Chain A
C-alpha cells in the first residue's frame, strides 16, 4: 500500500513536470520521497527528476543536492547507465554554479561510461556537455577582462579550443546518428565558441547551419537566436549592413514571440549597428525603442545603457541639448544602480557637453554643475566662467585614460 502511494505520487510529479509545471511536480516528488520506497531504482528516478526540476527552476543548490543523491544511489546499486546519467546532470549543474573543474570530472565520467557501454547517444550528449563546460569556463574568464573577442589570454583560448573540439566530436556522432536537433544545438554553440575565439567566418558558417536546422524544425526561438548570433559575427567582420539585416530579422521574430526583453536587446543591437553605420537618426530611433521597453521592464541597467547611447548619438548629430538631457539621466541611473564606471563616463560626457554648450550659448539650464551655477551667480559672466570651467575639463580629459571613453 505504501509502495503504491510513493509510486502514485512520483507518477503525478512526472506528469506535472512533463506538462511544464515543475513547481507543482517538485511537491509531489518530495512527498514521494517522504513516503519512501524500498525500490532503489524508483528512488533514483525520483531524485534525478527532482534534480532536473530544480535545475529548470534555477534552484541550483537544490539541483546539486538531488543529483548527488542520485549518483550515490546509482553507484550503490551498481546501475552503470544510471551513474552515467547522474554524472552528466551533476556536471551540468556544477557548470552553472561555476565549479568548472568538478564539472569536467563529472562530464568526463558520463563520457567514459557511455563509451564503455557502447552507448553512442550517451557519448554524444556527454561530448556536448563537455563542450558547454569548457565554453563556460573560457567565457567566465574572458568576460572578466576587457578585451574584444579574438584577443584572449592563453588559458581562455585553451578552454575555448577544447570546447570547439568537443562540439566537433559531438557533431561527427550526431551526424552519423542523423539527429538533426542535436546537430542544431552543437552548431549554435560551436558558432558562439568561434565568435569568442575571434574566428568570425567560422562562426558565420556554424550559425548558418544552425539557422537551416531551426527552419527545418519550425523552431522560431532557435531561428531568432541564430539571426542574433549572425548579426554579432557580421559586426566583427565589419559588415554592418548585413548585421543590421540579421538584427531586423531578430526583432521581427522577437515581436512574433512576444518576448519584450529580447525585443529590447534587438533594438539595442540595431541602435549600435546604425551608430557604426553613422546613421544617427535611425540609431536614435532604435535606442528610444530600447529605452521604452527597458523602462517598461524596470531594467535600470538597460535604461542606463540606452541613455548613454542616446547621449552619444545626439552628440554626433550636434544636438547638444538632447545629448545633455540623456547624459544627465545616465548619471542619475549610474548613481542609482551603483555603477561607478558608468558614473565616471557620464560625468566626463557631461563636462564635455557643458564645455561645448558653455562656449556656444550664453544660457545654460543644465542642472549638472553646482560649481558652474555658483560661478554664474557670483560674477554673472557666463561665457568667461564657462570657458574657465572648460579649460579645467580639458586638463581632466588629458588625464583620463582612453578606455573611459569606451563602453564598458
Chain B
C-alpha cells in the first residue's frame, strides 16, 4: 500500500444493527432464501485496504445496492468507491467477489460492479472484475491473495 493516503479524511457512517432472528429463521422446515441483508452481512465487515475501517462504515457497500434473485441464482453487488479516482477500486471489488465466491453456494452467479457514475474508470474496473479468467489468475498471485485475505479477515 502507498504511504500517502488518497482519501485522507473519509466520511464515516453508522453501522447497521444486527439482524433480528425471527421464529421462521430458527424453524428448520422453513426455507430461508438468500436476501440482500444476508449478502450484506457477508461483505459489510470487509476492511478497506487503506483505512482501519469497514466497507460498511465508509458506505462503500450498502444493503440497498445489493440485488438477489434466488430463482435465477444471481447476486448483483454495486459498490461505491470513496473517491472517483480511487486506485483501490479493483482490489475492493475483488475482495467482495472473493468473499462471496467463498461464502455462497456455487450455483450463484455473482456480479460486482462500481455504482454507476461513482468512479472515473468505471467500465474498465467493471470489465476486469467480470473477467473470471483474470480473477482466477489474480487469485493465484500470492501477494495479491494475501492483500485480499487481509481485507476479508474480520478484525
Asked if A and B are interacting partners, one says: no
Q: Interface residues, chain B, CB within 8 Å of chain A?
A: none
